[in-house]
Amino acid sequence: MSDLRLMLERGAEAAVRGLLGCVLVHESHGVLRAGRIVEAEAYTQDDPASHCFRGRTERNRAMFGPAGVAYVYFSYGMHHCMNVVTGREGVGEAVLVRALEPVEGIEAMIAARGWEGRPLRDLCNGPGKVCRAMGIGPGHYGADLLAGGALRLEPGRRRRGETVRLTPRIGISKAVELPRRAVLERSI
C-alpha cells in the first residue's frame, strides 16, 4: 500500500493538495513523458458542478471506482480531460488535473501539441492541453495510475519556496465559489 494511495483515499479535498508536486508519467512507443502537477481541482458527489452530482451514470462510473484510477472524459466536442479518482470505492469523487510543469519528454509533448516555436509555459497549462501533450485519451479510461503501468502517478516533492494556494474554481458555471482549486506557487 503506497503513501500515494492512502493520500488519495483520504478524499478529493485532501488529494487536491497532496497531488500538487506529484509527477504524471506516460510511457508510449518507447517515449517517456512526465510532468509535475501544478494545478488541480477537487470534485465531489455533493458538488453541483461535478459530473457525479446526479449519481452514477455510464459516463462517470470510473469516478465511483477505487482511488488512483483515471477518469478521462470528452468535453466541448474536442478536448479530453483527466481526473485522478479519489476516496473509497463506491464514492464519486475525483481531482481534475488542470496543469503540468513539463519534466521529461518535452519534445514529444511539443510534437503532440503542434507547439513548435511557441511559449513553453503555454504547453500544459490547461486540462485539455495536459491530455493532448501527454497523449492521454479515452483508452486510459479507468486505468490504474498506481499500478506501475504505462500511465502512472509517482510521488513528487514540493520544492523550497513552493506553497499550495486554494482558490475558487474556473471554467464552470455551478458552485464556482467553492475553493477547491489548488495551485502550486513559488512564494519567493
As a 3-state breakdown, the chain gives helix, strand, coil percent values, each rounded to 5, of 20, 30, 45
* Span 58-77, contacts to DNA by CB under 7 A: 58-60, 63, 71, 73-77
Cell of 146: 498506481
Nearer to DNA, 1 or 151 (CB): 151
Contacting range for DNA; rule: CB under 7 A; set: 2-10, 15-23, 29-37, 57-65? 57-65
Ordered alpha helix ranges (H), the chain: 3-9, 12-18, 106-113, 127-134
Residue among 51, 140, 152, 181 that touches DNA (CB under 7 A): 51
DSSP 127: H
* Alpha carbon distance 16, 12 (integer Å): 6
- Is residue 157 involved in binding DNA (CB under 7 A)? no
Residue among 106, 110, 172, 183 that touches DNA (CB under 7 A): 172
* Alpha carbon distance 30, 93 (integer Å): 32
Contacting residues toward DNA, per CB under 7 A: 41, 43, 49-52, 54, 57-60, 63, 71, 73-79, 81, 83, 94, 96, 113, 122, 126-130, 170-174
